[in-house]
Amino acid sequence: EDKVVQSPLSLVVHEGDTVTLNCSYEVTNFRSLLWYKQEKKAPTFLFMLTSSGIEKKSGRLSSILDKKELFSILNITATQTGDSAIYLCAESRDDKIIFGKGTRLHILP
Amino acid sequence: NAGVTQTPKFQVLKTGQSMTLQCAQDMNHNSMYWYRQDPGMGLRLIYYSASEGTTDKGEVPNGYNVSRLNKREFSLRLESAAPSQTSVYFCASKELLWDNEQFFGPGTRLTVL
C-alpha cells in the first residue's frame, strides 16, 4: 500500500516557538517530495525537494530531504498565528502523487 | 489566467441522487486529478488523467466515474450518492505526469444526506 506518513498529526505551540514537522515516504519510483500549506481552501505549494541534504528556505520556513532514511522535515522558526494551518507532505512518483494525512498546526497568541 | 476552477462550490444531495463536479484549467496542462479530503485523512486520490483521452483509478475510485472531456476539462460523476461521499473534493492539474508541482482548484464541499 502506498504510504506517506506525517507526524505529529496535530501540534499546538505558542507564538515564537520553533516547530519541526516530519514526513516519511516509500522509495518506489520516487521523483520528489513536496510540502504544501492548507488554510481554509486549496493547498498552496511550499517546497519541492529532489536532492538529499540540500536545504530549501523561504523566510521562516525551511525543509530538507534525506533520501537514505526516506524522510523529510519542515521547520518553521519564530512561529506566528498566521502559520496556523494543515501542512501536507506528498511524494511525487512517476505516475502519481501520494499525500500524507497532514499535520494540523495551531499557533497560540 | 484563472488557473484551476471548480463548480459548484457547495452542493447538498440526498442519498441516491446523482451529480457531476466540473473542473477546468487554462494552463494547458496535460495531467488532471480528482482528490477527496476528509477530516484526519489528508488528500486521497480518486481518479487521474495523465493526458487527454486517458483516465486511471486512484486510491479510492469506488462510487465515482470520470470523464476527460478535452484537455481543459475533467469531470467527476457520482451516479448514486451515499453519505460516505460527504467530503471536500479538489481538482488539480500539472503540466506533465512526471512534473512535480500540482495546481489545485478551490474545492467543492459536498454533503450527502
Query: At residue B4, does pLDDT exceed 90?
Result: yes
Q: How close does chain B come to A32, measured CA to CA in Å?
A: 7
**pLDDT band, very low/low/confident/very high, at B59 (cuts 50, 70, 90):** confident
Residues 37-56 of A with CB under 8 A from B: 41-43, 45, 48, 50
Q: Spell out the residues 6+ positions from residue B33 whose beta carbon is closer than 8 angstroms to its own.
A: A97, B45, B47, B48, B49, B58, B74, B91, B92, B93, B94, B102
pLDDT at position B99: 59
Contact between A31 and B105 using a beta-carbon 8 Å cutoff: no
pLDDT at position A47: 85
d(CA B37, CA B41): 7
Of A31, A48, A101, the CB nearest to B98: A31
pLDDT at position B41: 73
Q: How close does chain A come to B59, measured CA to CA in Å?
A: 9
- The percentage of chain A sitting over the pLDDT mark of 90, rounded to a whole number, equals 59
Query: At residue A17, does pLDDT exceed 90?
Result: yes
Q: What is the mean pLDDT of chain B?
A: 91
Task: Name the residue among A78, A73, A79 with its Cα closest to residue A56.
Answer: A73
Task: Name the residue among B108, B59, B104 with its Cα closest to residue B86.
Answer: B108
Q: Spell out the residues 6+ positions from residue B25 whose beta carbon is closer than 8 angstroms to its own.
A: B3, B4, B5, B32, B72, B91, B93, B103, B105
Instruction: State whether residue B39 sits within 8 Å of chain A by CB.
Output: no
Contact between B45 and A98 using a beta-carbon 8 Å cutoff: yes
pLDDT at position B87: 96
Express each pLDDT in A35-72 by its tens digit.
999 987 788 878 888 888 889 888 999 999 998 999 99
Express each pLDDT in B60-85 by its tens digit.
899 999 999 899 999 999 999 999 99
Indicate the residue type of A67. K
Instruction: State whether residue A30 sits within 8 Å of chain B by CB.
Output: no
pLDDT at position A61: 94
